[in-house]
Amino acid sequence: MNLKHDEDELNFTIHQRSLYGQTVKPLTVRAIIDHITMRQRGAATLSDAERSFLADFGAAKDPGTFIEGAFLDAAINGGKRLGEDSYRLGGEQDEEGEEGGWFGIHRFLGLYVVNSTQYGEGQDLFGPFAKRKEANAIFNLVIILYTPPT
């Protein structure tokens, strides 16, 4: 893979909401690309979703833009779910019978992504993080900040 970018051009994180009190920072696009490049060389077993992502990544004309636009969603939809929690609210339910939300930690290509979904309101994605400990810290913060008081 031949990246034709100025080194500093990729030293930004994927746009995502910043959490109050967040102490760990997501990896930069450059760090994600470096990690994926190393992962491709030493990967023994990859899931179908990981193989597919790597093929699309390898074919991308602009790897930085591809990572920024696709990595977090790929990790949520194709990653291994490592942890989850959910909550329900009292009162009326939406048309799908759901009211409340869901939180998850996912591992994809050796990196960790956290998501928070509030039914009927959308989803926030956080990461990726290089270490499970960092993802756990964000996961716990998301639960505290996103779970409405009962």
Per-residue pLDDT, 136: 93
In Å, how far are 15, 48, 56, 57 from 60, measured between CA atoms?
20, 18, 6, 5
**Predicted local confidence at residue 18, as pLDDT:** 77
pLDDT of residue 17: 77
Per-residue pLDDT, 32: 92
Does the global pTM surpass 0.85? no
**Predicted pLDDT of residue 46:** 84
pLDDT at 2 (0 to 100): 38
| pLDDT reported for residue 24 | 85
First-to-final CA distance of the chain? 51
Q: Which residues of the chain have pLDDT under 70?
A: 1-8, 40-44, 89-98, 150
